Structure 1
Amino acid sequence: MFGLSLQGFTAPWWFLLLVVVAALLAGYVVVQRVRRRRTLRFTNLELLDKVAPRRQGWPRHVPTALLLVGFALLTVALAGPTAEQKVPRNRATVMLVVDTSLSMEATDVQPNRLKAAQAAAKSFTEGLTPGINLGLISFAGSATVLVAPTTDRSSVGKAIDGLKLAESTATGDAIAAALAAIDSFGKLVGGAEGPPPARIVLMTDGKETVGTRDAFEMAKEAKQANIPISTISFGTEHGSVQIGGETQPVPVDDESMKEIAELSGGEFFKAASAEELRRVYDTLGEQIGYETKQADASRPWLVLGTLVAMLAAGAALVLGQRLP
């Protein structure tokens, strides 16, 4: 339920109260033995049965046992247990970088690579947690920042719908443009906490063919800036397009995408179908939109301890006609 870590307590000194709980238990045992010895001194057993009827055996200890268990549970709550919980990020920057080279017209992914990419990218955009600032870059022979980082998902969705194909693949220029956009946005909103954490999501189907910046060198710069690049190699080895009346093979370039991801400290994903691409984007949405934090997990212990203490009181009234 909460993945509690027994080492994760914010105020462990409260566990000293368990010594008090143990002392109460020891005191209860001593009192019971003393009471038993005093009872045995009453030699007229017939009169004893009339004056003090025999107790109910072990059930009479139930209220006290429940009360002590309740105290123990409340002590754990006071110690401030923490647990790893997934919480939405409230500040982060993501640049979605989409390849719009002519190879994206290949139909090895139905209806074609570009349309499948648009559908998956829009789903990714709509599913991101609200606090994420998302920007969009398209690239072919050059890179264009279509949307600067923003929490306005509608503007990103419209830009994705309007993606147009062009010649060549300038992957390095696209990464450089993404880094520049992240840097500018970070300076604008940084404040005392510094720039928000950032990531680049690069989706392409082919090898870099042109550009003024080398993709691998830009990946190293991203690593230095602590901006990992999640690369998605989209398409199959058998893709082809018609250019100038001729059929041109456009196989995906997995190796380059793997290297860019590794050099930047990011992850590589392979998507050979529209469904696989959606799953990749879903995975990225979880990774980017949420973070795991140590959060307070005392509430279940507090609730359980209170309920057990109340149960102890109820059991005392039923079994002994008095509170423990």
Structure 2
Amino acid sequence: MGGITQLADAWWLLGVLVVAGLAAGYVYNELRRRKRTMTFANTTVLDTVAPKTRNPFTHVPIALLCVGLLLLTVALAGPTAMRKVPRNRATVMLVIDVSLSMESTDVSPTRLGAAKVAAKQFVEQLTPGINLGVVSFAGTASLLVSPTPDRSLALAAIDHLELAERTATGEGIYAALQAIDNIDSVLGGAKTAPPARIVLESDGKQTVPQSLDDPRGGYTAAMEAKKKGIPVSTISFGTADGVVTIGGQQIPVPVDDESLHKIADLSGGQFFTASSIGELNKAYGSLRDEIGFEMQRGDNSRVWMIWGTLFVAVGIVAAVAVNRRLP
């Protein structure tokens, strides 16, 4: 019954005075009862009809009834509490790295294979009311699915992801930002557009352009996302021991935590690391919970009503059981 921050109609709390009056009346009646018994001259008879120490359990029913009435009074005042509810308006762009380094088998079966499984689970469990789009990037970025509530399109796009050369992280972010701008224009412009988020899953260091601070680089794109109020949450996926075989040569492809962490920081997003499909699922799960739900104030009177009714009911039963009558 905690978490109350407001009461819809606090005037109902005046009912507390009524409950206090009932409790005071009960105490007064008990004192009068004891006083009346003192009129007996014979103390032996007095001890028989009105013992000095009355069974304390006889007061339990009225205590329960008062507590129940207090809880019901609070319920009438309309208590509210913050609660997590599914979002029905939001845009999420899932940006997935398909560069050749994603062929590394340091994560079974491959980085890309594991990424597909985790991404599909993220898509399937994302709140239905959210518009979801998909972007893949290697040397260039491709908008595979424009933001839509139709999850089948995203699932099909993820299934058909294919590897390509080079890594253009900034282009992936810019493609996602453009897709968000497009849907915002359809939904009524930036002022009335739903909140948006980019989820970027990658393993390698940007190679195109070489500098992350280039106008089309990852850092510049992250700062542009920040200006638009669109956080980029990044998932660094892979291990430091990853290698791929290209042209018969084994090439080290260690995961690049540093740049992905900075992209998240620059844009106001979150950074996650994952070196297994289990950790990747956990990262996606955290993002899914944050993106798919929001905190809203709502009616919280039901729990007060339930407990109040329960206390009153138990009080009545106790009154009948202990006193054989209502107190």
Q: 1:23 to 1:191 in 2, by over 3 A?
A: farther
Query: Which has the higher mean CA deviation after the structures are superposed, 273-282 or 75-84?
Result: 75-84
Partner of 1:234: 237
Partner of 1:153: 151
Which residue of 250, 253, 260 corresponds with 2:256?
253
Partner of 1:138: 136
Question: How far apart are the structure 2 equivalents of 1:311 and 1:15?
Answer: 23
Aligned length: 320
Query: Which has the higher mean CA deviation after the structures are superposed, 31-40 or 198-207?
Result: 31-40
Structure 1 stretches of at least 4 aligned residues deviating more than 6 Å after TM superposition: 44-50
Question: How far apart are the structure 2 equivalents of 1:46 and 1:244?
Answer: 111
Question: Pairwise mapping of residues 104-119 of structure 1 onto structure 2 (< 5 A)?
Answer: 104-119=102-117
Q: Is the 8 A contact 1:190 1:196 kept in 2?
A: no
Partner of 1:94: 92
Question: How far apart are the structure 2 equivalents of 1:303 and 1:192?
Answer: 44
Given residue 69 of structure 2, which amino acid in structure 1 is its aligned partner? F
Which residue of 62, 80, 83 corresponds with 2:81?
83
Question: Pairwise mapping of residues 1-324 of structure 1 onto structure 2 (< 5 A)?
Answer: 4-5=2-3, 7-43=5-41, 54=50, 57-190=55-188, 194-210=192-208, 213-324=216-327
TM-score by length of 2: 0.88
Question: How far apart are the structure 2 equivalents of 1:267 and 1:224?
Answer: 16
Cα shift at 1:72:
1.1
TM-score by length of 1: 0.89
Cα shift at 1:321:
4.4
Q: 1:318 to 1:244 in 2, by over 3 A?
A: closer
Question: How far apart are the structure 2 equivalents of 1:316 and 1:269?
Answer: 59
Given residue 20 of structure 1, which amino acid in structure 2 is its aligned partner? V
Cα shift at 1:44:
6.6
Question: How far apart are the structure 1 equivalents of 2:239 and 2:44?
Answer: 95
Q: Is the 8 A contact 1:21 1:71 kept in 2?
A: yes
Deviations 1:185-240 (A, max 9, x none): 12223489811111100011112222571211111111111110111111122222
SS in 1 for 2:170: helix
Q: Is the 8 A contact 2:184 2:190 kept in 1?
A: no
Cα shift at 1:45:
7.3
Identity of aligned residues (%): 56
Q: 1:192 to 1:231 in 2, by over 3 A?
A: closer
SS in 2 for 1:208: coil
Given residue 196 of structure 1, which amino acid in structure 2 is its aligned partner? P
Query: Which has the higher mean CA deviation after the structures are superposed, 77-86 or 61-70?
Result: 77-86
Question: How far apart are the structure 2 equivalents of 1:59 and 1:167?
Answer: 81
Cα shift at 1:279:
1.7
Given residue 267 of structure 2, which amino acid in structure 1 is its aligned partner? S
Q: Is the 8 A contact 1:106 1:241 kept in 2?
A: yes
